[in-house]
Amino acid sequence: MKTRVRFDRGDLTLDVVLPDAPIVALTGPNGAGKSTVLRCLAGLEPASSVVRHGPLPGSVGYLPQRTSLFPAMSLRDNVASSLRFSGVGRVESRQRAEALLAEFEIGELARRRPHEVSGGQRQRAGLARAIAAIPDLLLLDEPFVAIDVAARRSMRTRLVQHLAASGSSCVFATHDDADVEAMGAVRVELA
């Protein structure tokens, strides 16, 4: 679905057309509006206008730049929370959360709380939570930036596999050309 995002506040004016592609990468310098476009698509910017040509996504998963996990919950329960919100039972949501954490190479940390793990491990848990409920549209803001370079390759591969298996579309912001290439994304450059 082709989507047009318009936003105007202060010094930032955006008029961006996103192509009809399964994976779109927003690139450009700091302050160009990448995060704002994602926030507009997520419905978090009331001053924005989003016009979609085609069906509206039924569900949206969003991972902000600063991974926002619930501090009092374990990583497993954080991931399971998105499943619980979508109607999955408690036992099944925990089992699926543990499987996703294992797939994202942090299964042994499932019972730890966010403050007990590194930033990269929190980022992986946040990514697992964002995809757990299989949203129609997945919005990711710098999803790999906190993850060490060696692990990024496998995280990108796993994400692409999840998107292909689920049929979800994805729009993500990045400064890393390797993310764009590895994800097979259509690039939209913001100035």
Q: Model confidence over 94-120: pLDDT tens digits?
A: 999 999 999 999 999 999 999 999 999
Please, is 10 exposed, middle or buried when counting C-beta atoms within 10 Å of its C-beta (0-12, 13-18, 19+)? exposed
Tokens representing 2?
């082709």
Domain that holds residue 147: 2-189
Q: What is the mean pLDDT of the chain?
A: 94
Is the confidence at residue 54, as pLDDT, over 80? Answer: no
Residues 6+ apart with CB under 8 A from 179: 25, 143, 144, 152, 156, 172, 185
Is the confidence at residue 63, as pLDDT, over 80? Answer: yes
**Torsion sign over Cα 146, 101, 136, 23:** positive
Average pLDDT for 66-88? 94
- ∠147-186-22 over CA atoms, to 5°? 85
Is the confidence at residue 80, as pLDDT, over 60? Answer: yes
Average pLDDT for 59-83? 94
Average pLDDT for 42-54? 88
Interval 148-162: pLDDT, tens: 998 999 999 999 999
Number of domains in the chain: 1
Q: How many CB atoms lie within 10 A of CB 53?
A: 10
The pLDDT assigned to 1 comes to: 57
Average pLDDT for 29-41? 96
- Say which CATH number the domain at 134 has: 3.40.50.300
